[in-house]
């Protein structure tokens, strides 16, 4: 238990972020009367004290961001010494590290300077600084976008079952078939109004991404209706990339895959998360390893030549042997890309509801093994992001063979292009480049609310897009 007194500032959230790298969230208390640690901001120094350890540094009083980072640095340095524990990502918590690299390059800084800055200012380890720069270099060629263009995200908030680690607002498709029909009708109305508006104003769609949820949990008739309506507004053959995150093998069949092929989907995901049967049962995924293999080979037979597979590090009770088995099976299939996720305990997940605290001790070893397997398959890391509450101080990284990178994933993390998002819980991001400003506009999460309030959300989005186009 740590009881922290704040003196001279109220940056509780920033201090909590660093404390949470060393303590469970229920072990952190802020108390200015009864404390065993102090975070201090005086006229000259940012200071953190715990036990007999004191770390301090001067700070730039004119810049709030700089003040916060100074407080975070001294907190991390003191706690790292106190626990004799290295945090590879330093003070970067829940952030997009490569954006820092791109911003510094815009300022004319070379890679040597950038690496030193990542290590000294953000306290990254040399390995993580190198990874950040490598990913930034690999994604850079995809950051330029066609003129007058945006990308499109479509959310399908249904799944065969709910996985224990998932926090998305998804609904079981079983028993909700009528609701799914109502949802599709509302989504098509949003297509008609919003995509019609986009066409009228001559905005081009650069990339398309269907996510969720599990989009393929819809029936083949529903999928065909959605893609047919989309094709009325978007020249699908002209987009740079069209991803359909099929996801769960138990939701995929040959007819659905044929429909995706008919509408020129260029990239799909078939996500095992693990190739261990016992874990699949524990996490609530009602499919087998055999099904993963069968559906992957089925997609290959139908001509899909860009297939991604997701794996998760830190699933309940998994160890290094578990990830070895998973990666050995996936290597045999030879997908074009593999996304390595480090499990994060989300607030809305079942694992959080049951207060799951199994911080996997060997997550770093497992992650390193999976990453090396990807490199051995000829893949490069092309996009990366960090989340809060991960099982270890790691990251999520997308690996792909050269030329098979997911452009939408890069755009989502780099925030270099506006993303129009349709469907329940879909968040539209509007990029005002000249103002260095990003605005987010969210549709409601609940599916029934989405259906009932679709007109309201359409009107709001039209207003947002009108403002964007006029600027």
Q: What is the CA radius of gyration of the chain?
A: 23
Residue owning tokens 């009108």 = 466
Q: Do the beta carbons of residue 47 and residue 56 sit within 8 Å? A: yes
Tell which wins on pLDDT, 166 or 295: 295
- The pLDDT of residue 230 is 98
- The pLDDT of residue 169 is 55
Residues 225-240, mean pLDDT to the nearest whole number: 97
Antiparallel, parallel or unpaired: β 267-270 and 241-247: parallel
Structure pTM?
0.91
pLDDT > 80? residue 344? no
pLDDT > 60? residue 408? yes
Upper half-sphere CA count for residue 319 (Cβ side, 13 Å): 1
What structural domains does the chain harbor?
Answer: 2-83 (3.30.160), 97-131 (no CATH), 143-422 (3.80.30.20)
Tell which wins on pLDDT, 60 or 169: 60
Q: How far apart are CA 443 and CA 42, in angstroms?
A: 43
Of 68-72, 152-156, 236-240, 389-393, least confident by mean pLDDT is 389-393
Q: Per-residue confidence at 471, pLDDT binned at 50, 70, 90?
A: confident
Instruction: Say which residues have a Cβ less than 8 Å from residue 433's Cβ, sequence separation at least 6.
Output: none
pLDDT > 90? residue 15? yes
- The pLDDT of residue 226 is 99
Residues 66-93, mean pLDDT to the nearest whole number: 97
Length reported for the chain: 471
What is the distance in angstroms between the CA of the first residue and the CA of the last residue of the chain? 51
Q: How far apart are CA 33 and CA 234, in angstroms?
A: 62
Q: How far apart are CA 300 and CA 307, in angstroms?
A: 9
pLDDT in tens, 39-76: 999 999 999 999 999 999 999 999 999 999 999 999 99
pLDDT in tens, 287-302: 899 999 999 999 999 9
| Nearest by Cα to 330 from 290, 371, 260, 275 | 275
Task: Give the dihedral of Cα atoms 172, 176, 177, 182; nearest 10 deg.
Answer: -110
Tell which wins on pLDDT, 336 or 353: 336
- The pLDDT of residue 16 is 97
Of 171-185, 332-346, 364-378, 379-393, least confident by mean pLDDT is 379-393
- The pLDDT of residue 349 is 43
Instruction: Say which residues have a Cβ less than 8 Å from residue 332's Cβ, sequence separation at least 6.
Output: none
DSSP 8-state class, residue 279: H
pLDDT > 90? residue 351? no
């Amino acid at each position: 238990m740590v009881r922290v007194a704040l003196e001279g500032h109220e940056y509780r959230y920033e201090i909590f972020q660093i404390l949470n790298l060393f303590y469970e969230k229920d072990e952190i208390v802020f108390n200015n009367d009864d404390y065993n640690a102090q975070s201090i901001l005086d006229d000259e120094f940012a200071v953190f004290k715990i036990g007999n350890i004191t770390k301090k540094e001067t700070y730039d009083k004119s810049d709030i961001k700089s003040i916060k980072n100074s407080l975070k640095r001294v907190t991390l340095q003191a706690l790292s010494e106190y626990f004799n524990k290295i945090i590879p990502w330093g003070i970067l918590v829940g952030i997009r590290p490569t954006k820092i690299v791109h911003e510094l390059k815009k300022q004319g800084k070379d890679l040597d300077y950038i690496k030193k800055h990542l290590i000294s200012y953000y306290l990254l380890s040399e390995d993580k600084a190198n990874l950040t720069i490598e990913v930034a270099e690999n994604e850079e060629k995809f950051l330029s976008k066609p003129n007058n263009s945006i990308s499109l995200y479509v959310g399908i908030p249904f799944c065969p079952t709910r996985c224990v680690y998932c926090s998305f607002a998804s609904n079981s498709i079983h028993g909700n078939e009528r609701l799914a029909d109502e949802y599709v009708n509302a989504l098509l109305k949003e297509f008609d109004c919003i995509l019609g508006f986009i066409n009228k104003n001559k905005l081009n769609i650069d990339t398309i991404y269907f996510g969720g949820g599990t989009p393929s949990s819809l029936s083949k008739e529903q999928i065909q209706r959605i893609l047919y309506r989309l094709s009325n507004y978007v020249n699908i053959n002209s987009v740079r990339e069209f991803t359909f995150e099929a996801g769960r093998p138990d939701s995929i069949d040959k007819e659905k895959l044929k429909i995706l092929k008919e509408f020129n989907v260029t990239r799909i995901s078939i996500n095992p998360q693990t190739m261990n049967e016992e874990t699949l049962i524990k996490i609530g995924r009602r499919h087998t390893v055999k099904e993963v293999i069968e559906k992957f080979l089925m997609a290959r037979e139908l001509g899909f030549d860009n297939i991604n597979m997701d794996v998760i590090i830190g699933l309940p009770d998994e160890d290094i042997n578990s990830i070895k088995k998973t990666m050995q099976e996936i290597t045999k299939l030879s997908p074009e890309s593999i996304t390595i996720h480090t499990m994060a305990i989300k607030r809305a997940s079942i694992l959080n509801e049951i207060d799951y605290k199994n911080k996997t001790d060997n997550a770093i070893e497992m992650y390193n093994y999976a990453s090396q397997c990807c490199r051995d398959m000829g893949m490069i890391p092309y996009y990366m992001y960090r989340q809060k509450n991960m099982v270890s101080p790691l990251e999520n990284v997308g690996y792909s063979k050269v030329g098979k990178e997911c452009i939408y994933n890069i755009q989502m993390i780099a925030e270099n292009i506006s993303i129009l998002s349709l469907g329940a819980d879909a968040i539209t991001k509007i990029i005002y480049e000249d103002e260095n400003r990003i605005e987010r506009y969210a549709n409601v999460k609940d599916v029934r609310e989405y259906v009932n309030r679709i007109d309201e959300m359409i009107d709001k989005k039209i207003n947002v897009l009108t403002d964007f186009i006029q600027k």
